[in-house]
Amino acid sequence: MYYDKDLLKNKDKSIFRLILGVTFLVISVAWIIIKLTKNELIKPVDWFFSATFALNGLAYVFEGFGISIERFFGKAFVHIDNDSISIKLNVFKKEQKLYWQDIQSIYYKPYIFTFKMTNGTNVFPFTKFGNSCITEIKHMILKNADSKKIKYNLD
């Protein structure tokens, strides 16, 4: 059995975020244009202010189109196969690989998976993800745990 879940899958499009992003971009450009039309000196603070609004605006525009900004920094995923479970919950965290042969038992409390291993315990909080995602993962873990005769409590 093989399961592959991209945790940064494109999100739903949002008109509100798109409008907010465009507004931030307009403000960032308008700030500099206003300074230029008044013949004022553009200070580093003005450039910083404008750049901050522009970056924020770009992030909201991408989110408005349904593109996760986190994708530009890395991957987040869950891979489950017959040999192992690979989990990377965040783009800034390291991938963790658990081999089925090392897993003694699996426990689930709302949004938290706990794997008791031969060499310790691994805890994975799935608090950022929806119920459908967690249900899919629980189902695949349950199938593999049954086939490998691993104790579990996935209530």
Q: What is the pLDDT of residues 46-57, one digit of tens each?
A: 999 999 999 999
Contacts of 30 (CB under 8 A, 6+ apart): none
Taking a C-beta distance cutoff of 8 angstroms, is the pair 133, 7 a contact?
yes
Taking a C-beta distance cutoff of 8 angstroms, is the pair 103, 117 a contact?
yes
pLDDT of residue 155: 67
Count of domains for the chain:
2
Residue 94: give its domain's CATH number: 2.30.29
- Locate tokens 């986190």: which residue? 70
Residue 29's domain spans which residues? 15-72
User: Do residues 123 and 94 share a domain?
Assistant: yes
Q: How confident is the model at residue 21 (pLDDT cuts 50, 70, 90)?
A: very high
Residue 115, strand partner residues: 106, 122
- Lowest mean pLDDT segment, chosen from 3-7, 69-73, 90-94, 151-155: 151-155
Q: How confident is the model at residue 44 (pLDDT cuts 50, 70, 90)?
A: very high
The span from the CA of 105 to the CA of 97, in Å, is 16
User: Do residues 40 and 89 share a domain?
Assistant: no
Q: Would you say residue 22 has pLDDT above 90? A: yes
Taking a C-beta distance cutoff of 8 angstroms, is the pair 96, 123 a contact?
no
Domain-ending residue, one of 56, 72, 88: 72
Taking a C-beta distance cutoff of 8 angstroms, is the pair 151, 104 a contact?
yes
User: Do residues 43 and 99 share a domain?
Assistant: no
What angle do helix axes 44-64 and 15-37 make, rounded to 10 degrees?
160
Mean pLDDT of 25-45: 93
pLDDT of residue 145: 87
pLDDT of residue 50: 95
The span from the CA of 135 to the CA of 141, in Å, is 10
pLDDT digits (tens, 9 = 90+) for 89-116: 888 989 999 999 999 999 988 888 899 9
